[in-house]
Amino acid sequence: MQEFHRKIRSFVRREGRMTAGQTLAYESMMPDYGFEFNKQLLNFEKLFGNNNPVTLEIGFGMGASLAEQAANYPELNFIGIEVHRPGVGSLLARMKEREVTNIRVISYDAIDVLEHMIEDNSLAKLQLFFPDPWHKTRHHKRRIVKSEFARQVHQKLQDNGVLHMATDWENYAQHMLAVMQQEAGWTNLSATDDYVPKPDDRPVTKFQKRGERLGHGVWDLMFKKDTPHV
């Protein structure tokens, strides 16, 4: 009998309905700011029309944080990846509202986009804010942060490039830290070798506020890719 291996994904598709505003933004802005999945490496200079450093965000949700960050840092380029299409529509609507032009968007599994479309040693930063925590132990295998992921990100970052993660779920923060501590080639940017204070460039979002309101905190982790010894 043929064995069938299905990839374990970090999300469950929940298409949901797009609002009229999200649909309008999606249809009018995807041709200029979106790109489709294919197995060809992206040329960042062509994609953005400049050579500015590129930050890639996985799972931007409704895009509030990414739109604000891109508006605050016009000298940087951003690639946003989100499987949830209403979220993509929402990000595009926010971009239009704020006249943000330095984001390119794709609605696809980030793991596949990283593998097939992002050149090795090309990203200045990769950010993962409040990824689905998959609370139940039997679902932990769905967590995006695992050693394979850390290695994939390492391959795609430039030397001295940074992986920035944030979560409001302590158990996931501990898991992120444990995964990263086992991997070679990273320097933890925490002075205490665990978490960093919220950096100014990460906008405050609903998860941040929820964490604070519930009194269970938010944990930021930042790791720098080491320069290889020659």
Ligand X SMILES: C[S@@+](CC[C@H](N)C(=O)[O-])C[C@H]1O[C@@H](n2cnc3c(N)ncnc32)[C@H](O)[C@@H]1O
Distance CA 167, CA 132 (A): 9
Residue 155 or 187: which CB sits closer to ligand X?
155
Q: Judge whether 129 and 205 are in contact, CB under 8 Å.
A: yes
Among 131, 180, 223, 225, binds ligand X (CB under 6 A): 131
Task: Establish if 37 lies at the interface with ligand X (CB under 6 A).
Answer: no
Task: Establish if 84 lies at the interface with ligand X (CB under 6 A).
Answer: yes
Distance CA 105, CA 92 (A): 9
Q: Is 200 a catalytic residue?
A: no
Per-residue contact flags (x/-) with ligand X for residues 85 to 124, judged by CB under 6 A: --x---------------------xxx-------------
Q: Which of residues 136-155 bind ligand X (CB under 6 A)?
A: 144
Distance CA 29, CA 173 (A): 35
Shortest reach from residue 221's CB to ligand X, in Å: 15
Q: Which of 132, 168, 194, 201 is catalytic?
A: 132
Q: Judge whether 67 and 205 are in contact, CB under 8 Å.
A: no
State how far Cα 97 lies from the chain centre. 22
Shortest reach from residue 60's CB to ligand X, in Å: 5
Q: Judge whether 223 and 189 are in contact, CB under 8 Å.
A: yes
Residue 8 or 41: which CB sits closer to ligand X?
8
